Amino acid sequence: PPAEPLTELRQAGGVRTIVLNNPRRRNALSLPMLQSLRRDLLHDVKSRELRVIVIAAEGPVFCSGHDLKELSSEDDVKHHSQVFELCAEVMTLIQKLPVPVIAKVNGLATAAGCQLVASCDIAVASEKSQFATPGVNIGLFCSTPAVALGRSLPRKVALEMLFTGEPLSAQEALMHGLVSKVVPEDKLEEETVKISQKICESSKSVLALGKATFYRQITQDLDTAYKMTTKVMVDNLTLRDGQEGIEAFVQKRKPVWSH
């Protein structure tokens, strides 16, 4: 029989769910898995119908990181570079997309899998989930996952994870800001749907502007950030939906977004 796709894409009501679908390989981010994930993230991404993306996974492991079989000495440096470069492209792509991306985590997320969670805009995790960067234990320090972790976690927490390989519990991940919410496993779907539906109530064009601006300003000094965002607020008012939202508020009615 033909092999099942490494990722499954389904979309309804403005919400696209991308499911990592290789549980027998612990949803490892092999080169084909990364290619499939990138394809699903980019598919018809400018459509007015697409409002939010959820990344989920089959099986007890959300994502175990890179497929170590691809990183052995049997493959050359060119292949190794291709794997890490594509992974970096996918991680940065998530933040460049015009819609919010939610990680729906139910299980273990390690190494580049932990990087994937840290790269998403929002992350909802079940209570049983754990997060780790254990590369140091096998002689491959998690340097690329450290980029996302170092921007999501306090420095000393990120470095303890990187130096020891020890996992964070879901509650510890919540406390340190790696995930947005932790819920019982049987409430994970409900909570993810709730957040997704709330996002779908807003204007896509306004959210796209806001998301892009957030990631631009976060790396800037305070004065530069305020100067840039002040201009963006003015630009926001020139959007059709910017004016529609204000008019609707004044008129005490629901806005009708053009997106």
DSSP conformation letters of the chain: -PPPPSEEEEEETTEEEEEE--GGGTT---HHHHHHHHHHHHTTTT-TT--EEEEEESSSEEE--S-GGGGSTTS-HHHHHHHHHHHHHHHHHHHHSSS-EEEEE-SEEETHHHHHHHHSSEEEEETT-EEE-GGGGGT---HHHHHHHHHHS-HHHHHHHHHH-PPEEHHHHHHHTS-SEEE-GGGHHHHHHHHHHHHHTS-HHHHHHHHHHHHHHTTS-HHHHHHHHHHHHHHHHHSHHHHHHHHHHHTTS------
Q: pLDDT tens digits for 228-247?
A: 999 999 999 999 999 999 99
Q: For residue 172, give both structure tokens.
A: 């510890």
Taking 70 as the threshold, does the pLDDT of residue 2 lie above it?
no
Q: Print the domain residue range for 244.
A: 202-251
Can you name the residues that pair with 160 across neighbouring β-strands? Answer: none
Domain total for the chain?
Answer: 2
- 236 and 186 share a domain? no
| CA–CA separation, 136 and 142 (whole Å) | 7
Q: Which residues contact 121 (CB under 8 A, 6 or more apart)?
A: 94, 95, 100, 101, 102, 211
In a domain, 2, yes or no: no
Q: Are residues 212 and 186 in the same domain?
A: no
Instruction: Note whether residue 135 is domain-resident.
Output: yes
Answer yes or no: do 135 and 184 share one domain: yes
Q: Are residues 140 and 209 in the same domain?
A: no
State which of 164, 183, 200 marks the end of a domain: 200
Taking only the tens place, the pLDDT of each residue in 88-127 is: 999 999 999 999 999 999 999 999 999 999 999 999 999 9
Give residue 229's pLDDT. 98
31 and 58 part of one domain = yes
At 236 the pLDDT is 97
pLDDT digit string (tens) for 7-20? 999 999 999 999 99
Query: Are residues 213 and 180 part of one domain?
Result: no
**Do 246 and 187 share a structural domain?**
no
Examine the pLDDT at 75 and tell me if it is beyond 90.
no
**259 in a domain, yes or no?**
no
Which CATH number is 212's domain given?
Answer: 1.10.12.10
Task: Kindly state whether residues 175 and 102 are assigned to the same domain.
Answer: yes
Packing angle between helix 204-217 and helix 77-96, nearest 10 degrees?
A: 120
Mean pLDDT of 136-142: 95
Instruction: Report d(CA 205, CA 198) in Å as an integer.
Output: 15
Q: Do 183 and 219 fall into the same domain? A: no
Given a cut of 90, is residue 133 above it in pLDDT?
A: yes
Q: Do 17 and 104 reside in the same domain of the chain?
A: yes
Residue 72 has pLDDT above 90, yes or no: no
Do 99 and 152 sit in the same domain of this protein? yes
Is residue 1 a part of any domain in this protein?
Answer: no
- Per residue in 177-231, pLDDT (tens digit) is 999 999 999 999 999 999 999 999 999 999 999 999 999 999 999 999 999 999 9
- pTM listed for this prediction: 0.95
The reply to whether 165 and 89 lie within a common domain is yes
| For residues 67-83, average pLDDT | 86
- DSSP code per residue over 30-82: -HHHHHHHHHHHHTTTT-TT--EEEEEESSSEEE--S-GGGGSTTS-HHHHHH
The answer to whether residue 256 is domain-embedded is: no
The average confidence (pLDDT) of the chain is: 96
